[in-house]
Amino acid sequence: MPHLSESESPLLRRGLGEAFHWGTSVAAYQIEGAYQTDGKGLSVWDVFANKKGNTYLNQNANVACDFYHRYEADLDLLQTLGIADFRFSLAWSRILPNGTGVVNQKGVDFYNRLIDSCLRRGITPWVTLYHWDLPHDLERRGGWTNRDVVGWFCDFAEICLKRFGDRVPYWMVLNEPMVFTGAGYFLGIHAPGRRWLKNFIPAMHHAALAQAEGARVVKAHRPQAQVGTTFSCSYVTPLTDSPRDVQAAVRVDALLNRLYLEPALGLGYPLKDLPFLNRVEKYVRPGDESRLPFDYDFIGLQNYTREVAKHSWWMPFVNADLVKAAKRGCDPTLMGWEVYPECIYQMLRKFAAYPQVKRLVVTENGAAFPDTVTDGRVHDPRRTQYLQDHIAQVLRAKAEGVPVDGYFVWTFLDNFEWAEGYRPRFGLVHVDFETQQRTVKDSGYWYRDWIVQCKAEPVMQQKENTEK
């Protein structure tokens, strides 16, 4: 696997120019805290994480990184690291406490301050409209299983565009719809904790509709804005070359990687490879097929690992099982994921192969490893190497013509990692959750230096060309 050696780094950086975005991503629920402050309503994650037995050690994000109160200092830290592109989400229930109806002006004021504070520091805001925190009152009315959620979401999007659209150039509609519908409405391991196909199928279709309709809202209010949406993806390979394992990998790929992407591109749901999805016909209304696609300015690709699939009679619907990294002799991350840098290259190539995809941005990539503060420093060589190797693969894809022009590390601060609680640390910055002390990790300093070198390289190239 290629990595960024001293001799290779300049070669990989050449040609990037100022147009390549080096950023970091966060999510409102995972960092903001202040979960009932200044009129904020409860979200599904507020309720889910405060119910015993749903998260690691029953942890919750009631305080998290306290970003709501500490955002100015955190943005100062982001600025010192030279990170000029910052992706964050808007908490729906902070703006609309009940999901619909009366706007909470204090919530709007917070995001206005956050956006303005970014701009004062030369940091470009990239805003995600929905990062999994549906207002609890809407879940009580069916949540994503209720078709009305498409209208609720569009109303929320319109409010956001009217309040913030004049200063935000980049918008993402949904974050990883496969994860929040699959984990939240089929497996029940994420909020709101619902299970089985009777919940997943309607949630799937309504999320796919909301994704496109939300993009239309953005363009209707800000035609000049760049609008995209983000998809989780994993490079899927078969355990063996046997036809049964190969076909199992095809089905897993259809479920994990194609289920939301292809409808968004006008190709419909992958029914041929996943026949159980035919149940969606019950929820499809006339005109839905034409409403599912949208001509996105960019697609956000979010990749962390690969998955190895094998045939299994015992797994319902897909007849496939995933072989865990540890069972394959890998040294996994704290999430149990294999470190396989080429996966991001393969997924960039796969997404770029769709003619409808005009532009790609890696909106999340990162790794969780054990981190400790020693003498005021956090030495995290495995994360640094992970970032180096994955960035090398991104630039490999770009050199081969893949239209990728951005890379965002997940994540800026150690945070509340959903059902895994505070155990996995993905951040470039260590957070002591008892004291809220921030400590930049070695990987954060490496990323800072890499960004500086990338910005300097085109200048040096221009100078060399002038001298010639």
Active site members:
176, 364
**Torsion angle of alpha carbons 330, 331, 337, 339, nearest 10°?**
-90
N-terminal to C-terminal alpha carbon distance within the chain = 35
d(CA 282, CA 255): 19
Q: Cα angle vertex 252, ends 420, 149, to 5°?
A: 65
Tokens of 172: 């993402």
Contact 270, 189 (CB under 8 A): no
What is residue 108's three-state secondary structure? helix
Closest to 386 (Cα-Cα) out of 344, 417, 358, 418: 344
Name the 3-class secondary structure at 84: coil
Please name the residues in contact with 195: beta carbons below 8 A apart, sequence gap of 6 or more: 185, 186, 187, 188
Chain center to CA of 8: 29
For residues 18 and 310, what is the distance between their CA atoms, to the nearest angstrom? 43
Amino acid at 34: A
**Helices marked H in 188-300:** 197-221, 243-253, 261-264, 288-291
Residue 453 · residue 9 · CB < 8 Å: yes
DSSP 324: P
Backbone angles phi, psi at 301, to 5 degrees: -105, 130
Which helix or strand (DSSP H or E) is residue 68 part of? helix 67-80
Radius of gyration of the chain (CA): 21
CB atoms within 10 A of CB 370: 11
Q: Regarding beta strands 85-89 and 404-410, do their DSSP bridges make them parallel or antiparallel, or are they unpaired?
A: unpaired
Looking only at the bridges linking them, the beta strands covering 298-311 and 320-322 are antiparallel
Please give the Cα distance from 125 to 408 (Å, whole number).
12
Report how far residue 188's alpha carbon sits from residue 262's, in angstroms, rounded to the nearest whole number.
Answer: 25
Integer Cα distance of 388 and 404 in angstroms: 17
CA dihedral for 387, 393, 396, 398, sign (positive or negative) = negative
CA pair distance 418, 305, nearest whole angstrom: 18
